[in-house]
Structure 1
Amino acid sequence: MDAQTTLAVMRKRSFITAAATLTAAGAATFAYASLVERNLFTLRRVDVPMLEPDAEPLRILHISDLHMMPGQQRKQAWVAALIGTDPDLVVVTGDNLSAPDAVPAVMQALDPLLDLPGAFVFGSNDYRGPVWKNPLRYVFPTGEYVQGVELPTEDLRTGLTTAGWADLNNARTTLKAGGRTLELVGVDDPHVERDNYAAVAGPASSDTDLHLGVTHSPASHVLDAMAADGFTLLLAGHTHGGQVCVPGYGALATNCDLPRSMAKGLHRWPGSSAWLHVSAGLGTHPTAPYRLACRPEATVLTLIPR
């Protein structure tokens, strides 16, 4: 075998070795993302400095994007155990369902929390079931938004409102929590153009202690309007935190007009004094059951003096 032939063989072997290594690494990463990380439910605790001096802290439990399937008992048990965080208020920002028969599972998960003051809005997947689509469409959105089978939205709504929780879908209300009076405003999901903030818009009341705005999708036109009206804590979900993130780079997409840098966590909303908290959520789309560098989460927001 001459030198040229030997070099060609070595190059071929090096290519095969590199390809095999990359394939193995890709398979291992996918296995971790789909079998491990998407089940690593994580409780985050975040302080929000927005209260008057000497005010007592107020704890808000923010839950989002359960995407519940009936057989997900581990997720149900984990959510139910959040009663141990002793929140003053529970806010759920939508996309609770992933199947027509998932309402009992959602209610089972939330049951210990239903005796507390609570409020909710819906997301698109509380109305229509998921359908398969190319995951690259989250990064490069094209074409019309396609929805699946109709879901039992009203059964879920009835279950939550019967327990005493406030329905904030294009609605506004006040409630007592943690010894204070809170004003809350919310919209139905902007992602599927169900929002109608104009129907509930107006300056925040000076007769209440705190002002919260709630939406599923953190659409900028909704957040701008809420902040302009004086709602100083805005809560949203929808983004899944990007769901697949690159260490050192972050989320690849937010599935809305929110910047990637704000895909999850606590941020100041630009041009205002309002805080925005975006939950990375607890579930995944059933046809994309994986998370990478973006664990499923619920968050206890502790409001503290500025």
Structure 2
Amino acid sequence: MDEDVLRKLAERLGPLHAKQRLGIETDSEAQIFGQSLFLLHIGNWYPVPSVIRNTLKLTGLYWRGRRNTESILIKRNDVMFKNLPPLFDGFTILHISDMHVDMNEGAMRRLIELIGGMRYDLCVLTGDYRGKSFGPFAATLEGVARVRAHLKEPVYGVLGDHDTIQMVPGLEAMGIRMLLNECAIIVRGDQQIYLAGIDDARHYRVDNIEKAALQIPHGEFSILLSHTPEVYRQAAHADFNLLLSGHTHGGQICLPGSIPIILEAVLPRRMGAGAWQYHGMSGYTSVGAGSSVVPVRFNCSPEITLHCLRRG
């Protein structure tokens, strides 16, 4: 552990959060290297990627699946809100999730081509910047930096279940404001909205919606960034208007009709991809710009999303 990184994390997050997250990560890596198989990411169980890859090669589908990962769609999602401040009518958010940059080089090149000329007011990144959930992350930071160089400010992000807290100083040094159970205020003229973000709620379980929402006055318009949509109940009952997330990859390998074979999330299937509603809250689950475990996609194209906030 780099002492400089540890010092920066303690200053940035407070010594307790930094110590807690790092300790949980250390425990997780111990499980990966032989102490337990029950809490592993499937991609960290060494035989799994090669088994999937070889099976697809035998069926002749592998290279088609690889090509599919570079066919990134630009999706548009208009969302209506009664309490949206008038000056934010038409406010557009570019949403990018699950890049897994170090295992999706072709997809990242295509992503950079797409975002270069796009118009939006704010960019949000909802986690999973690296491929594996352990080990070195220098290549991940280099890949994210290449994408970041083509994004317009401001850019906000949260961590995913593949990401280490040690990446935070590097991500923030390149101009990505990480929200780790924190809230930022977005201002237009004399009006404002609130953008909150939580630490990973899926694997490390260090999310704290209550802390993230502390700065938000009752009745004010607010957005929550979470890597996983599985916090939808907590977010809705904390009065967030919009939840933006990723994690599911939409199943990544799907049957015709985008029906996921496996959806790695505990939530209704209708929330596994795209726009949805829960009580009074709108939600959107991105299927991600990258791919996980094996860089292939079938019947589930990768995406980036432009969310346009509308008043009405």
Range into which the TM-score falls when normalised by the shorter chain: 0.7 to 0.9
Q: Which moved more, 1:162-171 or 1:60-69?
A: 162-171
Instruction: Give the letter for the 1:278 counterpart.
Output: T
Alpha-carbon shift at residue 284 of structure 1 (Å): 1.3
> 1:165: Cα distance to partner?
3.8
User: Structure 2 residue aligned with 1:89, among 99, 106, 122?
Assistant: 122
1:67 aligns with 2:139: no
1:226 match: 235
SS in 1 for 2:159: coil
- What is the number of residues matched between the two proteins? 250
Of 287, 290, 300, which residue of structure 2 is paired with 1:280?
A: 287
Q: Is contact 2:104–2:290 with CA below 8 Å preserved after alignment?
A: no
Partner of 2:59: 27
Instruction: Report the secondary structure of 2:156's partner residue.
Output: strand
Counterpart of 2:302 in structure 1 is 296
Shift in alpha-carbon separation, 1:265–1:178, aligned structure 2, 3 A: farther
Please, which runs of 5 or more residues in structure 2 have no aligned partner?
1-54
Aligned position for 2:90: 57
| TM-score, length-scaled by structure 2 | 0.71
Paired amino acid for 1:49: M
On the 8 A contact 2:100/2:291 being kept in 1, the answer is yes
Task: Report whether the alignment pairs 1:194 with 2:206.
Answer: yes
Determine if the alignment matches structure 1 residue 102 to structure 2 residue 158.
Answer: no
Distance (whole Å) between structure 2 residues aligned to residue 183 and residue 121 of structure 1: 15
Q: In the alignment, does 2:83 pair up with 1:45?
A: no
Q: What is the CA RMSD across the aligned residues, in angstroms?
A: 2.9
Matched, 1:169 2:180: yes
Q: Which amino acid aligns with 2:255?
A: V
In structure 2, what is the equivalent of residue 250 of structure 1?
A: 259
| Structure 1 residue 123 displacement after superposition | 0.6
Structure 2: which amino acid aligns with 1:190?
A
Instruction: Report the equivalent of 2:274.
Output: 265
User: What is the CA distance between 1:176 and its match in structure 2?
Assistant: 2.7
**Residue correspondence of structure 1 range 126-145 to structure 2 within 5 A:** 126-127=163-164
**Deviates most, 99-108 or 234-243:** 99-108
Q: Give the distance between the partners of 1:184 and 1:171, measured in 2 at CA.
A: 9
Question: How far does residue 70 in structure 1 lie from its aligned partner after superposition?
Answer: 7.5
- Shift in Å, 1:25: 11
Per the alignment, residue 130 of structure 1 pairs with none
* Rg larger in structure: 1
Aligned partner of 1:205: which letter?
P
* Amino acid of the structure 2 residue aligned with 1:194: V
**What TM-score comes out, normalization by structure 1 length?**
0.72
CA distance in 2, matches of 1:181, 1:84: 26
* Structure 1 gap ranges (5+): 1-22, 128-152
Fraction of identical pairs, as percent: 28
Deviations 1:155-185 (A, max 9, x none): x422443455432121122133698522122
